Amino acid sequence: MGKRIFGTDGVRGLANGVLTPELALDLGVAAARVLVGHGEYTGQRPLAVVGRDTRISGQFLEHAVVAGLAAAGVDVVRLRVLPTPGVAYFTDQLGADVGVVISASHNAMPDNGIKFLARGGVKLDDALEREIESVMGTEFDRPVGGTVGRVTPHQGTVERYAAHLVATVTQPLAGLRVVLDCANGAASEVGPMALRQAGVEVITINAQPDGLNINENCGSTHLEPLQQAVVRHGAAAGFALDGDADRCLAVDRNGEVVDGDQIMAILALGMREAGTLRDDTVVATVMSNLGFLVAMREAGVTVAQTAVGDRYVLEEMKRGGFSLGGEQSGHVILSRHATTGDGVLTALQLLDRMVVADAPLHRLAAVMTRMPQVLVNVPGVDRSRAASDPELAAAVDAEAAALGETGRILLRPSGTEPLVRVMVEAPTATVAREVADRLADVVRARLSL
């Protein structure tokens, strides 16, 4: 296949439209052939684990992927509904050669996605994805008889994963009341279970998935219900997950949002105090708020910045052996405990830090001051010329010079759509909006199709 089907986070699109059962089956076969081909089995049969979120389309897509894997001679363990980081955990714990997550994360319910994990529960690199694409639809020696794959359900999946999460906290979390918004997604069972086993009094909202309501006006992309519930119940904090629970945003007892940058700042200082922040470094993307960068610099913590996307954060963390990284959106990666972002783990670690520091969340979050940030998406433009147009570059330089050290400008093309994103940080929201709008006008004028 010459056409690229993998995006920045697996294969994603409208379920039964773009992402059909036929495509899912072909992907299962191709992934098995490629990833198994990179393994060493010493006579053992190759093994895959498959998990999904609560979307109704996940049912038929799961069966299609499992059929493809088994048809290529891979034994399959079905984890059923489980967060993305849970699938990564069992990929490692069960010694699987392939992990498969069927989820479209924070996307609306009609979409779905298929993401593959390599041995150890780590995301695939671009080269392996291209190799999978290259073998799709090609002939191969099909196993027959007893050499086809076996398919079995995994017993006690949710309980084992909850126990793993609870084991990461340093002391009981009794006395804390929190609200957990499960986004009617993959953590609707394991999230409340893990927090309660850690001693937390949990009030759950949006934890009754019906296959259709995942991410619907809830979770990390719609924080208003959580903010209201935290204040109404007098909770110490609230946590919002997304559909596959690989991200987490928080709300303090006053109903104020604590975003991914603030979460990373809190955890970075706590981990440095405990001696677990490798090289006193945290990995973040170029979209992290300027306030985060300033706070970390003043605290003596180095920030290694990457391109946008948790896969790039993970790559940098692996390269440098770093223990903490993440994104403003709430993907927080704690490499001592997980190979990917884990929303429930993040919530537990924040609560653990609140207990250790004997401080409420809003006081811990005050370690950084968020600079006003405005993001403008400019559609219908030639994104390929965003970095090479001289007049656009001159306009960006002029605005950046005017802001000086009090602000920041980031202009980047979308990785998947014909649009350019203009992000501006400034001392006030008004200034940020004015600068962003002026630059957006230049983008439209210079890059129009």
Q: Is 11 in a helix, a strand, or coil? A: strand
CA dist 309 to 254, 339, 418, Å? 30, 15, 18
CA quadruple 394, 399, 402, 405: dihedral sign: negative
> Among 105, 188, 288, 329, which one carries the catalytic annotation?
105
The CA distance from 114 to 99, in Å, is: 10
The rounded distance, in Å, linking the Cα atoms of 270 and 273 is 5
Sort strands 257-258 and 248-252 into parallel, antiparallel or unpaired: antiparallel
Q: Which residues of 337-347 are buried (b: 16+ CB within 10 A; e: fewer)?
A: bbbbbbbbbbb
Amino acid (one-letter) located at 229: A
Tell me, rounded to whole angstroms, the distance of Cα 177 from its chain centroid.
Answer: 26
Q: Report which of 78, 83, 288, 70 is spatially closest to residue 183, judged by C-alpha positions.
A: 83
CA 169 to chain centre: 21
Whether 105 sits among the annotated catalytic residues: the reply is yes
Query: Which pair of structure tokens corresponds to residue 142?
Result: 């099909």
Pairwise CA distance, residues 114 & 51, whole Å? 10
Tell me the catalytic residues.
105
